[in-house]
Amino acid sequence: MSVAYDFAHSPATEFMARPQHLLIDGRRVPASSGRTFKSLNPATGQVIAIVAEGNEADVEHAVAAARRAFEGPWRTMRASERGQILLRWAELLKQHADEIAEIESIDAGKPISATMRQDFPAAVDTLTYYAGWADKISGDVVPVRDDALTYTVREPVGVVAAIVPWNFPLMIGMWKLAPALACGCTVVMKPAELTSLSALRIAELALEAGLPAGVFNVVTGPGRVVGDALVNHPDVDKVTFTGSPGVGRGIMKGAAGNFKRVSLELGGKSANVIFDDADLEAASKAAASGIFFNAGQVCSAGSRVLVQEKVYDEVVERIAARAKSLRIGDPLDRKTALGPVISEKQMKSILDYVDIGRAEGASLVTGGERVGDRGYFISPTVFANVAHEMRVSQEEIFGPVVSLIKFRDEADALRIANGTAYSLAAGVWSRDIGKLQRFAKRARAGTVWMNTYGYTDVRLPWGGERDSGLGREHGTAAIDNFTEPKAVWMNLAV
């Protein structure tokens, strides 16, 4: 396997060659400290960009700019005009689709075919969907008594801190940006330190679309500095975060200072349950995709495949065969199915879990090795004979590692599926509609897929409970996230 890039000839590489300053109050500016950090290509380990390392002073400037914009041009603008700006932004994104997808692919190690097929279209769809919401956020007239006019309105919550993960920086970033802006909020975004570039590029295009200065600010840098400063800032009204449960707990503690509103989309250890009456070819194909897509770096990855005893060996063979057939390599090669994991640290963590699985007594059927000596590639890994109590079954690995667990009957499948600290998603496969419905009703999961796996849509709520988070994103739930209801009484007896 070889990976080689020509960094001289494309809009994406020309963008990355520029100094990647912060974006505050409509201008690209260096960090106040002058410090920078290197952004690495996970497929090669090479430096692809030099990025400004923001700190508390930069957060202070960004929040102040967001507050001025919130109290001024953005909040007072007609809602329909806000929607039109967002639509213009969506059109600009489409005009720069190849550039943005290439930036995302190089920066995050994501196969370009998947970025163009899923991440980029989903980001544009989200922006377009919420642009349409901008002038449709309404309240209700509630007839409380005859001598009063009583009604409700929804007002923007204020300045939003959006803290975005490294696994889907463009798509998940837009999940937070689009509804916040449509509701009339302003945003300070902190992209992940490992994947900051797409946020900076789309922020430039937002300004080109007519977004007023200060409405959307980007402060890059480490979470322990920039993220903590945003969470603890007294003039931030809302934090929306996607990431690990440990960081999520810290955010909740920090947000208590001024009782910020918080929504969290955290981890997952999702069960994908295959009954013996399922279409085994379709179920195995989807199960492999459900764990190996994006190198398993997906919160809702089907990392636990539960298979009924009668067909267990056959499903193990089918998934292992698919794992062995996946093409690993250059993310910019449209034939690549599996790119690198995000960093050397993540690669080592995943390989440590492979060792843990072996030590616990699970059977390594295939994979579990580093591929090549350049970049952070791991062969897709299949563990069989996994016991429910093993760490590889209970803990989020966040890599291309699947645990196949045997179950007896419906009750046993449900016990195992619900038997972790997570509750983000689950899948179930059967030809028996009653069985499917019983499982969906009893599964502790924010999303349940029946005879499919992994689909999301901005029109449907997304999120979980317990270690999978707090609140929901998407659809009308996101409108609730970024608005405050207000009741109004007008005395008519005067």
Question: Helices 79-95 and 197-209: crossing angle, nearest 10°?
Answer: 130
DSSP state of 211: P
Beta bridge pairs of residue 462: 473
- How far is CA 332 from its chain centroid? 21
Report the length, in residues, of the chain. 494
CA atoms within 13 A of residue 250's CA, in its CB half-sphere: 15
Cα 162 to Cα 140: distance, rounded to the nearest angstrom: 29
383 within 8 A of 362, measured Cβ to Cβ: yes
Beta bridge pairs of residue 188: 161, 217
Among 208, 211, 212, 165, which Cα is nearest to 189's?
165
Among 226, 205, 232, 219, which Cα is nearest to 62's?
219
Residue with tokens 């988070």, as numbered in its chain? 469
23 within 8 A of 14, measured Cβ to Cβ: no
389 tagged catalytic: no
122 within 8 A of 354, measured Cβ to Cβ: no
Among 118, 457, 408, 404, which Cα is nearest to 287's?
404
**Which one from 265, 396, 410, 473 is the annotated catalytic residue?**
265
First to last CA, the chain: 81
264 within 8 A of 470, measured Cβ to Cβ: yes
Cα 428 to Cα 356: distance, rounded to the nearest angstrom: 27
Cα 185 to Cα 211: distance, rounded to the nearest angstrom: 12
Q: Which ranges of 193-343 does DSSP label H, i.e. alpha helix? A: 197-209, 228-232, 245-255, 280-292, 312-325
Cα 117 to Cα 115: distance, rounded to the nearest angstrom: 6
- How far is CA 449 from its chain centroid? 18
Cα 306 to Cα 308: distance, rounded to the nearest angstrom: 7
Buried-exposed string 214-237: b where 16+ CB fall within 10 A, e elsewhere: bbbbbbbbebebbbbbbbbbeebb
Q: Look up residue 399 and give its two tokens.
A: 């890599």
- How far is CA 82 from its chain centroid? 25
Q: Which residues are catalytic?
A: 265
